[in-house]
Amino acid sequence: METGPERNELLAALPQPSKDRVFPLLREVELPLGKEIYAAGQEIKAVYFPADCIISLLYVMIDGASAEISVVGREGIVGVAVFMGGDSTPSRAMVQSAGTAYRLRASDLKREFNSEPAMRMLMLRYTQALITQMAQTAVCNRHHSIDQQLCRWLLLSMDRLPTNELTMTQELIANMLGVRREGVTEAAGKLQKLGVIRYQRGHITVLDRKRLEALCCECYRVVKTETDRLSAYARNL
């Protein structure tokens, strides 16, 4: 079992010379549920490599309404705009599931990205997986039911957590999906009646993952395939 910064798959995949330079610059931070990492339009001064937390990227409308466009866990990094040519991002980053992450100054990441081809390719491969997730989320939100969206969201979350349990209120899930709370309540109730999940006082436990996958739309599998391809590339570096 990986420990320290190597709990994050991108950090674990770095060549040893990059680890020797980057790891001493990392700062381990505890991120509580609901904490805002970036506000939309805010200058990004540091990036985050989740270890056992999940960070949601949300697009916020002028009227305050929001919808999740992607989730980032131990497979990724929050703050790709830093090495993609921008100093800020139009999305908001918020902690969806509390835990630990490793923070790195934006200037340190840029230096390593610009000087080391292995680091650069790894970050770009991850960005491709992130873009795939964003695109599939947009398609899912437009064409699939709230029931299917909830299944997709739960599966993506479970893939990024060490257990099958998630602390999350229905109101927060509704904000993530950009739907009414009543819709989430109804969808969660259906899954609970089927014995797929147990929901109690803001705690969700997935009881039957295979059934959850069967009830989900194809969007989860598209995203999972791309993430698995990234993981395979990282392991072979």
Model confidence band, residue 130 (pLDDT cutoffs 50, 70, 90): very high
Burial 1-25 (b: 16+ CB within 10 A, else e): eeeebbbbbbbbbbeeebeebbeee
**Distance between CA atoms of 113 and 51, rounded to whole angstroms?**
21
Question: Could you state, in order of their start, the residue ranges of all structural domains in the chain?
Answer: 4-140+223-235, 145-216
Here the tokens at position 28 are 């381990």
**Distance between CA atoms of 35 and 156, rounded to whole angstroms?**
20
Query: Each residue of 71-114: pLDDT tens digit?
Result: 999 999 999 999 988 778 888 999 999 999 999 999 999 999 99
Average pLDDT in the 146-159 region?
93
Whether residue 46 has pLDDT greater than 70: yes
pLDDT for the residue numbered 217: 92
pLDDT for the residue numbered 166: 87
Write down the mean pLDDT value for the chain: 91
> 8, 15, 231: which is closest to 120 by C-alpha?
15
pTM metric for this prediction: 0.91
**Distance between CA atoms of 211 and 214, rounded to whole angstroms?**
5
Could you name the CATH architecture of 4-140+223-235? Sandwich (2.60)
**Distance between CA atoms of 227 and 129, rounded to whole angstroms?**
6
Could you name the CATH architecture of 145-216? Orthogonal Bundle (1.10)
